[in-house]
Amino acid sequence: MEGANIVAPVDTMGCEQAQVKEVDPRACRISTLISLMLSSQTKDEVTDAAVSKLREAVGGTITVEAILSADENAIADAIAKVGFWRRKTQYIKQTAQKLRDEFDSDVPKTVDELCSLPGVGPKMAFLCLHVAWNINVGIGVDVHVHRITNRLGWHKPPTKTPEETRLNLQSWLPKELHAEINHRLVGFGQV
């Protein structure tokens, strides 16, 4: 098949990869969430490097306890190359606190609970549930998926917002494809 060997940055550095260097299941889920939080307005290569630097800065494994124990400046230095790093530093600290206080130091299992975390929106929540928990309750639609699916003519009439796009895609795309559509279209856009 033509193009079957093409590897996009999302294939080797997406949020799925953040958990690969972790052993503990909780740390896998937390690093997935943190990777998604850092990825907003940031290229996958930069996000991947920031997750690795953050892992080093907090002692080798990304846990709620490690983030809460880490100095805010150490977190900021580790993620300084991602977009909006100052705000994301605060979000990471606040999220760790909320995860400890309200979710037994683990990633929650619902979209609403995930969206209650600072800096986490619906797209991140759907992707986090797919990757961290293998729970499929919807499609993570970002601006890329929104634009690409409209350019491909998948929406009649064209959708105006990522949320409209998500609802339309979920109405006809087989549920078993929901988990991979974001990844595939982001990779398509990257290459």
Return the percentage of the chain with pLDDT > 70, whole number. Answer: 92
pLDDT at 3 over 90: no
The confidence score (pLDDT) of residue 96 equals: 98
Cβ proximity of 58 and 77 under 8 Å: no
Q: What CA–CA distance (Å, rounded) separates 128 from 95? A: 14
Domain boundaries, the chain: 10-133, 143-190
Domain spanning 10-133: CATH 1.10.340.30: yes
Q: In this predicted model, what pLDDT tens digit does every residue of 138-166 receive, in sequence order?
A: 999 988 899 999 999 999 999 999 999 99
Cβ proximity of 155 and 165 under 8 Å: yes
Mean pLDDT taken over the chain: 91
Q: In this predicted model, what pLDDT tens digit does every residue of 18-77 receive, in sequence order?
A: 666 788 999 999 999 999 999 988 888 999 999 999 999 999 999 999 999 999 999 999
Cβ proximity of 76 and 93 under 8 Å: no
Dmax over Cα atoms in the chain, in whole Å? 51
160 is catalytic: no
Question: Which one is catalytic: 21, 109, 123, 156?
Answer: 123
The structure's pTM equals 0.89
